[in-house]
Chains A and B, each alone.
Chain A
Amino acid sequence: MRNQKQLVLTVFMVVLVAFMTACTPQQDPNKIIVSGPFEPINLDPASTGYIFSRMQVLETLVDVGNNGELLPGLATSWLSNDDFTQWTFTLRQNVYFHDGQPMTVEAVYKSLAVALGKPTPFAKNILTNLEIVSPSQIRFTLNQSYRPFPSLMSNYSMAIIAPSSFGTFNRIKNLVATGPYQIVHFEPPHNITTERFEQYWGEPAHIRYAEYITGHRAETRALMVRTGQADIVYNLDPAAVNMLGNESNVTVHSNAIPRTTLIKLNIGNEILSDRSVREALSLAIDRTGIAEGILRVPGVEANQIFGPMMGDWHLHNLPPPATHTQRANQLLNEAGWQKRDDGWRYRDNQRLTLNMITYANRPELIIIATAIQEQWARIGVELNVQMENVSAIPSGHADGSLQTALMARNFANIPNPLGIMLADFTSKAGGEWGPMNWSNPAVFSGVRTLSQQTETEQASVQIANILKQIHQDLPLIPVTFYIQQTATSARVKNFSFDPFERSFRLSAMRLEHGS
């Protein structure tokens, strides 16, 4: 009886071990697996294009280099008339869609016309006409001078897709594009599997298959790369970076990206309309504490809106940001806000209380907001932090209810900062992700002038003047610049990070021992 029991137990253990061994994740030498928090919800470039562009399924007329410089994409060149109101793009020849059909000017026209009928991350009201001028040229006509126009054509929503992508009412039924990878399986919102496109116009991809898996939580993604289940994981949090830093088979890459954590201020608000109050609030923020204690990336303290990678649009000679609680207190005293025994400041019996909206998409934001709440409390400013959906910021901007908001503003949607300036810094209305009710006629006209003239050395001086005025006036309070943390497994070779986050650059990568 005892022997029989032992035999059953032994057989059970052998089966269990065999099963577990069979379950052990095997790495496919021909497939690279990528994971990030982005959810591909459908095939429409207007909504999910930012993922399909990263997976190199989609391509745009204009490409973007590491420093934001515009490079030829599906268009080999572009030219404008003298006043920048007409832009003609020359298309690349011998480009094929994933269905084997050639990319014709008619296909490009249809793709752009449909895309322009949908919401885009930039204002389209400057466009008045789109026309075919020759079998290889397409022309946009604008109602105003707009020098950064080609940079708009680098946005994923303007990707060129084949006529066979469209169903009835031009709804997207398939995603047939021109990139080095084509979709072979799509399971929204969790999985995209792609295969190398052999007829690609450029250098074909080295790795045959590329798969994207949505990893909803940063912890999960970190564990996936650690166990070899994923080769590259994007958007890691500080805790995961610490954990992966000690792993020999994983490399963590830290890259600056054009995104800044800012405090949006409603300058129309009675309290915030006073510049000295804004300066006091900025001086009270301990940015070094936030960078080192919360983000765990020293040196990302922001002293201005645009980060160091934005070329002329970053002022290199500004002093680093410093915390001056004493000076902040003095400024508030001078503005008539006096501290009472309860620790808060009052003016005409009204307490200095502000509301701040922030959102959950970026987990660090709520922690930074509560740190700022504590830091502002030290100078007697009461801050109520509200955790909201990301849409509360544009919605609060539109209905005027927003007082302050902590946000991570992405400047990569339009790689040329002039495009962002034209959208946000040319009217009192500002931008939903920019200033609000702020008015500075000198800055407004300066930005407009820049859009109408060619780039010269003088332009750099003008840009610096505009930035200095914005820095002086504080329509937005910069907090920290952004560092993107990515981890790769040891078998990934030729990894590079696109700071504008348009592409995962998988086609240039290789897998060790892979084809």
Chain B
Amino acid sequence: MAWSVGTLTFVLVRSLPGDMAYKIAAGRYGEDAVTIEAANAVAQELGLNRSALAQYTDWMWNLLSLDLGNSLVTGAPVIEEIRIQLGYTLTLAALAIVIAAMIAFPVGILSGLKKESVVNKTALVSSTFIRSQPVFCLGLLLIFCFAMELNWLPVAGFGGPSYTVLPVLTLALSLAAVSNRLITNNTRRAVTSGYFHFARVKGLSQRRAFVRHALPNILIPTLAFMGIQLIGLIEGVIMVESLFAWPGIGHGLSHAVFARDIPMLQGTALLMGTLFVLVNALVDISQYVLDPRTRDQEQ
């Protein structure tokens, strides 16, 4: 996997238009100091005039010795930059997915149990409203409400728990807007199913029948979906991090693309690829634990 992700990144970045040395010089020295001299110095320092094959072999060799190299722009070790940035992003993503679940499960289950209720109708309208706008707009709305009008929370930045509230809420609401509808449908399907009616007929109370028979059937597809959501979160994270000036990987990644910072891109892609595999494995394990059918099949 490391080889394929790294090679793909290398080929994609090399095939982007424009002279790499100039893009790196712009990232390194800023808008007002990008000159022909700066670009030539960068090309010489980084050996960009060498053949693509030589540069690729270098990278492969470093990877084999577990060295992700240094950022072409900042000069700092890539692993160090990723450690800091990914740490911030994972905090944001983990909190967002937990808060999203805390919102989506009660709302989705209540909506699914009572189709004609006010809860379901309100959830449907607000989910459609939240999902129909970019995550950036949702963030701005929350800033207007909680930071400007109520002055409860800081607008942007990082440095304390209060700074995480708005970006986490923005991401969580955006995730919950979709997952609560999925839970609603799954709940509806479960409580109208034959096995649920059978459980009731054999004498189980509504609550007991729901917890024992309906809930696992709601959880299995929802967890799989939330796993995919967590992976897709990176898309929303770039905008949210930019809006809230959050020092995460989304922001770092977009800048690395602009500045053609290949080691940074390769390192990030590599670690994120590993992370995605890990998340998928965790989702599969949770499915195995929750769904007795998968265990039965094995036997």
Contact = CB atoms under 8 A, between A and B. Distances in A.
Interface string B106-136: 0000000000000000000000000000000
B155 A229 contact: yes
A119 interface: yes
Given A119-B41, A190-B245, A432-B36, A220 B152 contact: no
Contacts of B152: 20-21, 23-24
Contacts of A228: 151
Interface in B122-162: 140, 143, 147-148, 150-159, 161-162
B192 interface: no
B3 interface: no
B165 A213 contact: no
> Which of A38, A121, A362 has the most B CB atoms < 10 Å from its CB?
A121
A258 to B, nearest CB: 11
B73 interface: yes
B291 interface: no
A226 B244 CA distance: 15
Contacts of B74: 41-42, 188-189
Contact of B36 (A22, A25, A398): A398
Contacts of B292: none
A361 B30 CA distance: 10
* Secondary structure type dominating chain B contacts: helix
Nearest to B27: A41
B184 to A, nearest CB: 24
A391 interface: yes
B29 interface: yes
B38 to A, nearest CB: 4
A215 B156 contact: yes
Contacts of A217: 242-243, 245
Interface in A226-242: 226-229
A389 interface: yes
A157 B151 CA distance: 41
Contacts of A118: 41
Interface stretch (B18-26, B96-104, B210-218, B224-232): B18-26
Contacts of B154: 23, 25, 224, 227, 229
15 contacts: A22-B162, A23-B162, A38-B30, A217-B243, A227-B151, A228-B151, A229-B156, A229-B157, A389-B258, A391-B26, A394-B36, A395-B22, A399-B19, A410-B32, A413-B32
B39 A395 contact: yes
Nearest to A392: B18
5 residue pairs, one from A and one from B, having the closest CB atoms: A391-B22, A23-B162, A119-B38, A391-B26, A395-B22
Contacts of A390: 26, 31, 34
A316 interface: no
Contacts of B151: 24-25, 227-228
Given A217-B243, A389-B18, 5 more contacts: A25-B154, A38-B30, A119-B42, A187-B84, A219-B140
A432 B143 CA distance: 41
Interface in A20-70: 20-25, 38-39, 41-42, 44, 46-47, 50
> Which of B74, B147, B165, B244 has the most A CB atoms < 10 Å from its CB?
B74
Contacts of B245: 190, 213-217, 220
Interface residues of B, number: 51
Contacts of B153: 20, 23-25
Nearest to B259: A389
Contacts of A42: 74-76
Interface in B47-102: 73-76, 84
B33 interface: yes
Interface string B245-266: 1010001000100100000000
Interface of B: 18-19, 22-23, 25-39, 41-42, 73-76, 84, 140, 143, 147-148, 150-159, 161-162, 165, 242-245, 247, 251, 255, 258
Q: Which interface class (under 10, 10 to 19, 20 to 34, 35 or more) fits A? A: 35 or more
Contacts of A216: 242-243, 245, 251
Nearest to A408: B31
A218 to B, nearest CB: 11
A107 interface: no
A413 B32 CA distance: 8
B93 to A, nearest CB: 18
Given A118-B41, A119-B38, A413-B33, A391 B25 contact: yes
A327 interface: no
A37 B22 CA distance: 21
Contacts of A124: 37
A12 B25 CA distance: 54
Contacts of B242: 216-217
Interface string A368-405: 00000000000000000000111110110111000000
A362 B30 CA distance: 12
B76 to A, nearest CB: 7
A392 B35 CA distance: 10
